[in-house]
Structure 1
Amino acid sequence: MSDKTMRPGITTGTCAAAAAKAAVLAWQGRLDTHVEVKTPQEKLIRVAIEKSLAMPGGGLASVIKDAGDDPDITNGVRIDVQVRISDCPDIIIQAGEGVGVVTKPGLSVPVGLPAVNEGPKKMIITAIRDVLPRDKGAIVTISIPGGEELAKRTLNPVLGIAGGLSIIGTTGIVEPMSEEAFKNSLVPQISVVKALGYQDIVFVPGKIGQDIAVNQYGLPEEAIVQTSNFIGHMLENAAKLGVKRVLLFGHLGKIVKVSAGIFHTHNRMADARLETIAAYLAVEGAPQAVIKEIMECTTTEAAMPIIERYNFNAVYNLLATRASLRAERYVFSDLTVGTAVVTLKGKILGLDQAARDIGGTLGWNMTELTTG
């Protein structure tokens, strides 16, 4: 493994603040190639300005986002900020092309406003006030060319942020490969679901699970939260935010790990999928020959035909029941959990009674299992 130090980057909020400051300086006749902006923690960051120019009544400047060694989807995008100087002392921030607008309640930014979080907003205002005459204000329009397309590959559509990317960053600095930052970025989904009035929510590992839940079973898209590999982290936050019931809805390969008490489901953290299936098959009375065949598989999909052939499909209900039990133990029974196990094509293999109850409350289409 390389011991090379990972290079930090700057957030979209830092980029917008720097561009805003450079735009005001351009209005004043200064075309600076670098500016300094202050983070919410009072740290100064020096940012390169791609271009700046004066315009009638204001200025325009651009910054290229540098995410350092972090695999950030916004790395390399251009952030343009146009500042129109006003005699009104307020600083008003607007969303231009490629910057999203909040359309659902539950986020830190109210519905109808640009998706500019509090930290970046503070940075932008501070940067402008640093160079703007005291008797003046400004109308600040932030744009990200191509931002609307990029946003489709983020959680923004799930969170109800329409039309583009968010301007985010609590520290102004991107720490490379920050798992904690990614985990925390998932949590606002829960707040959005709660704000829409749902007490019961659906956890899916990712977009494939979400599409199956919505398109094949009619679960409300507004009640669905993507967990990625961080099921335990999301269960804890659901409990903290007062969620009453959670439906775990996912592929056998993920759910079987939860059945074994594994709540960070990345394969490099823990991978006992086949061992767990084999153990529960043994509980169901499967002979040694079946157990050996399962243990020779490389994926859970490969194990399914074996389970079918030997008529041990009841094991899926057992795995679902056990996943719910382990999940409830994980949060000390602060919420109720139900579990449904599905294939990659969306067929439900097994589920427990809590899953039936929660899914029924949410109005899912389960007619084929009503007699199961």
Structure 2
Amino acid sequence: MTGSALRYGWTTGACATASTAAAYTALLTGGFPDPVGIVLPKGHRPEFALAKERLTGGSAMAAIVKDAGDDPDVTHGALVSATVRPADPGAGVVFRAGPGVGTVTKPGLPLPVGEPAINPVPRELIRGVVRQVAAEHGGSGDVVVEISVEDGAELARRTWNPRLGILGGLSILGTTGVVVPYSCSAWIDSIRRGVDVARAAGLEHVAGCTGSTSEKLVDRTYGLAPEAMLDMGDFAGAVLKYLRRHPVPRLTIAGGIGKLAKLADGHLDLHSKRSQVNFALLAGIVRDAGASAEFAESIRGANTALDALTRCQAEGIPLGDLVAARSRDFCLTTLQGAPIDVEVLVIDRAGTLVGHAPFR
């Protein structure tokens, strides 16, 4: 990119995937590809230079320095490594947390307790490159992959991992493999331009989504024109405040239970560094819905909003609908009487609709 454009970067998941590809190739062939290229979910084909490599009789290690582009990411410049060794026949890919990578110790995350904090998409990417390298070089694909991050335990203290019960280090993250540069002014300006384009096209229904998963749900539900899809991200306030001055008749807000629990609590910036889920509020919501005081107290002690949702689903309490309704009410209050009808869709991590506050 040139001029004032922000430079994209690569996630820890992408770095771990490329490191795995290089290490497994070396384990099978005796040589490390450098640079090593991978294919990411949206078709990006980055190549990574190796910062370290080591080949012994029974294992291979490759490491890459993470480049987060122009994003102020806590892991920018971190050394992400993968050590690959043979596993028992039929084991497939076995994941291990090396130094600097955390382990899940509480429920409510997309991984079971006791698992290395290597998120589902990076796991699939790593499995994919293991299959590819095995096919190219005659391997079985049965390997132990140990991911490490140099100084990851120290870096993790600057994240929400300890509160979420991810102990010992960082999470290996990423859904697309690409780090979109975080810039409040640039992002908010893009939201405003999106509204302008939608209005100029005469559209009467727009959607603000917190991420690609919620955007897919809205697309399946309504099939809106691309110009109707506002890249809201964490900036719910930017969407609502600009629409208040430049209204469009119908607005769909869609996002995960965690983000929208913050919106229900009156937060307009949903980023984890500037707002957190208010579990006391969720406890009060379920108590008002008829839950026992004992159950409400258990929600106050939930690990994540997803954990609270799962507990409520088991008890037949529609927490998703309740959060959606409260979020919609807050959106309407923020719009201050602008001629806009609002609905809210709440999803879980799988993209399943778990809450809905419909248009009025």
Q: TM-score range by the shorter chain?
A: 0.5 to 0.7
Q: How does 1:341-360 map to 2 (within 5 A)?
A: none
Report the counterpart of residue 183 of structure 1 in structure 2. Answer: 234
Inter-partner Cα distance in structure 2 for 1:212 and 1:241: 14
Following TM superposition, by how much is the alpha carbon of 1:107 offset from its aligned partner in structure 2, in angstroms? 2.5
Q: Are 1:26 and 2:26 matched, yes or no?
A: yes
Find the partner of 2:162 among 131, 139, 157.
Answer: 157
CA contact (8 A) 1:203 1:224 kept: no
Inter-partner Cα distance in structure 1 for 2:40 and 2:126: 10
Q: Write the letter of the residue equivalent to 2:110.
A: S
Q: Are 1:261 and 2:333 matched, yes or no?
A: yes
CA RMSD of aligned residues (A): 4.4
Q: Are 1:145 and 2:150 matched, yes or no?
A: yes
Assess, with a 3 A threshold, how the Cα gap between structure 1 residues 141 and 35 changes in structure 2: closer, same or farther: same
Find the partner of 2:320 among 227, 242, 246.
Answer: 242
CA contact (8 A) 2:87 2:94 kept: no
Following TM superposition, by how much is the alpha carbon of 1:261 offset from its aligned partner in structure 2, in angstroms? 3.4
Assess, with a 3 A threshold, how the Cα gap between structure 1 residues 105 and 76 changes in structure 2: closer, same or farther: same
1:274-322 residue CA offsets vs partner (Å, 9 max, x unmatched): xx9xxxxxxxxxxxxxxxxxxxxxxxxxxxxxxxxxxxxxxxxxxxxxx
CA contact (8 A) 1:95 1:141 kept: yes
Q: How does 1:356-367 map to 2 (within 5 A)?
A: none
CA contact (8 A) 2:106 2:303 kept: no
Following TM superposition, by how much is the alpha carbon of 1:24 offset from its aligned partner in structure 2, in angstroms? 1.6
Assess, with a 3 A threshold, how the Cα gap between structure 1 residues 8 and 190 changes in structure 2: closer, same or farther: closer
User: Structure 1: 5+ residue runs without aligned partners?
Assistant: 194-200, 226-238, 249-257, 264-275, 277-328, 336-372
Assess, with a 3 A threshold, how the Cα gap between structure 1 residues 163 and 190 changes in structure 2: closer, same or farther: farther
Inter-partner Cα distance in structure 1 for 2:7 and 2:89: 41
CA contact (8 A) 2:108 2:304 kept: no
Following TM superposition, by how much is the alpha carbon of 1:128 offset from its aligned partner in structure 2, in angstroms? 2.1
Partner of 1:14, secondary structure, is helix
Partner of 2:85, secondary structure, is strand
Report the counterpart of residue 229 of structure 1 in structure 2. Answer: none
Report the counterpart of residue 222 of structure 1 in structure 2. Answer: 302
Q: How does 1:170-319 map to 2 (within 5 A)?
A: 170-177=175-182, 180=210, 183=234, 187=256, 189=258, 203=265, 220=300, 222=302, 242=320, 244=322, 261-262=333-334
User: Structure 2: 5+ residue runs without aligned partners?
Assistant: 188-209, 212-232, 236-254, 281-296, 306-316, 337-341, 346-354
Assess, with a 3 A threshold, how the Cα gap between structure 1 residues 204 and 106 changes in structure 2: closer, same or farther: farther
Assess, with a 3 A threshold, how the Cα gap between structure 1 residues 211 and 63 changes in structure 2: closer, same or farther: same
Report the counterpart of residue 248 of structure 2 in structure 1. Answer: none
Please say which of residues 159-168 and 116-125 is displaced more in the overlay.
159-168
Partner of 2:150, secondary structure, is coil
Assess, with a 3 A threshold, how the Cα gap between structure 1 residues 101 and 6 changes in structure 2: closer, same or farther: same
Give 1 or 2 for the bigger CA radius of gyration. Answer: 1
1:201-251 residue CA offsets vs partner (Å, 9 max, x unmatched): 99486789879999xxx99453776xxxxxxxxxxxxx99616369x9xxx
Find the partner of 1:96 among 95, 98, 107.
Answer: 98
Partner of 1:13, secondary structure, is helix
Following TM superposition, by how much is the alpha carbon of 1:330 offset from its aligned partner in structure 2, in angstroms? 7.6
**Identity level (%):** 35
Inter-partner Cα distance in structure 2 for 1:204 and 1:135: 53
CA contact (8 A) 2:106 2:164 kept: yes
Report the counterpart of residue 230 of structure 2 in structure 1. Answer: none
Q: How does 1:321-336 map to 2 (within 5 A)?
A: none
Q: TM-score, normalised by structure 1?
A: 0.53
Find the partner of 1:168 among 161, 169, 173.
Answer: 173
Q: Write the letter of the residue equivalent to 1:112.
A: G
Please say which of residues 126-135 and 19-28 is displaced more in the overlay.
126-135
1:49-89 residue CA offsets vs partner (Å, 9 max, x unmatched): 11212022120110100001111111101111111123524
Following TM superposition, by how much is the alpha carbon of 1:111 offset from its aligned partner in structure 2, in angstroms? 2.3
Aligned residues: 243
Inter-partner Cα distance in structure 1 for 2:70 and 2:151: 22
Report the counterpart of residue 120 of structure 1 in structure 2. Answer: 122
Following TM superposition, by how much is the alpha carbon of 1:165 offset from its aligned partner in structure 2, in angstroms? 1.2
Report the counterpart of residue 55 of structure 1 in structure 2. Answer: 56
Inter-partner Cα distance in structure 1 for 2:274 and 2:45: 42
CA contact (8 A) 2:96 2:116 kept: yes
Inter-partner Cα distance in structure 2 for 1:97 and 1:38: 26
Partner of 1:262, secondary structure, is helix
Assess, with a 3 A threshold, how the Cα gap between structure 1 residues 126 and 241 changes in structure 2: closer, same or farther: farther
Assess, with a 3 A threshold, how the Cα gap between structure 1 residues 261 and 119 changes in structure 2: closer, same or farther: same
Following TM superposition, by how much is the alpha carbon of 1:5 offset from its aligned partner in structure 2, in angstroms? 1.8
Assess, with a 3 A threshold, how the Cα gap between structure 1 residues 107 and 211 changes in structure 2: closer, same or farther: closer
Q: Write the letter of the residue equivalent to 2:100.
A: G
Partner of 2:121, secondary structure, is helix
Report the counterpart of residue 46 of structure 2 in structure 1. Answer: 45
Following TM superposition, by how much is the alpha carbon of 1:331 offset from its aligned partner in structure 2, in angstroms? 5.4
